[in-house]
Structure 1
Amino acid sequence: MLFLEYPKCTTCKRAKKWLDEHHIVYEDRHIKEQNPCVAELKEWHTKSGLPLKKFFNTSGLLYKSLGLKDKLPTLSEDEQYELLASDGMLVKRPLIVDGDTVLVGFKETEWTENLL
């Protein structure tokens, strides 16, 4: 299982604590230092069944400073993948990838249903 996080993020810290409390083994990946590439993002997006917009960290400073709220709807899917792959801070986190399971953000009930 791959756990993508930004260590300073409080939600990521809560998610990591939850994983540890449930003795779930994972590989930790710093999303800023090891940014997901386009191929990974495409694969995870497909497996997740979620709209691509859910992969964007809409509350992040970078998202807001780039004015993506207004720009995103005008971008093609490929342009959105390129944008996400350009900076890990644009990607919603934490992100769990476990086989065909991809979870974006930390919702305890969703994680319990899918990981326990």
Structure 2
Amino acid sequence: MTIQFFGYPKCSTCNKASKWLKDNGVEFEKNNIVETPPSIELIKEILATTNTQLNKLFNTSGTIYRELELKDKLPQMTQEEQIDILVSNGMLIKRPFVYDGKQLTLGFKENDYEQVWKTS
């Protein structure tokens, strides 16, 4: 699987992450997380293949997350309902979001990128 990068063009952290990948020779497919958020199928695949918990995929510091009061609502929702709301708006997803079929990174920490995405 090609490395999938989901980011938001106006997000400085996403731009730093994208630059790091380019500077380190990592090939990836760039997706605008608002225009083409990860699919329900991709989210389910990530949950099945990584140790990532669903709640970690939410952008808990985002305006929409707070407006929808998801902090209080998510615990009462089923996993299916949580996934549906997560993919309904790319701004609800923690970004940058990078996945290659086996590994996932959320956000940008250079040390994490060194360990996960460094190819040489």
Does residue 1:8 correspond to 2:10, yes or no?
Answer: yes
Deviation readout 1:4-55 (Å, 9 max, x if unpaired): 1011111101101111111111110001001222111111222231111100
4+ residue runs of structure 1 moved beyond 6 angstroms? none
Letter paired with 1:108: E
Paired with 1:69 and 1:23, the residues of 2 have a C-alpha distance of 38
Structure 1 runs not aligned, ≥5 long: none
2:108 to 106, 110, 113: 106
Letter paired with 1:4: F
Query: Please, what TM-score do these two structures have when normalized by structure 1?
Result: 0.94
Q: Select between 43-52 and 82-91 the one with higher mean Cα deviation.
A: 43-52
Query: Please, what TM-score do these two structures have when normalized by structure 2?
Result: 0.91
User: Over aligned residues, Cα RMSD in angstroms?
Assistant: 1.0
Quote the sequence identity (%): 41
Paired with 1:6 and 1:56, the residues of 2 have a C-alpha distance of 15
User: Is the Cα–Cα contact under 8 Å of residues 62 and 92 in structure 2 kept in the other structure?
Assistant: yes
Deviation readout 1:85-113 (Å, 9 max, x if unpaired): 11111111111111311111112111111
Letter paired with 2:24: H
1:45 to 4, 26, 47: 47
When residues 107 and 45 of structure 1 are mapped into structure 2, their CA distance, relative to the original with a 3 A threshold, is farther
How many pairs align? 116
Q: Which residue of 2 aligns with 1:35?
A: 37
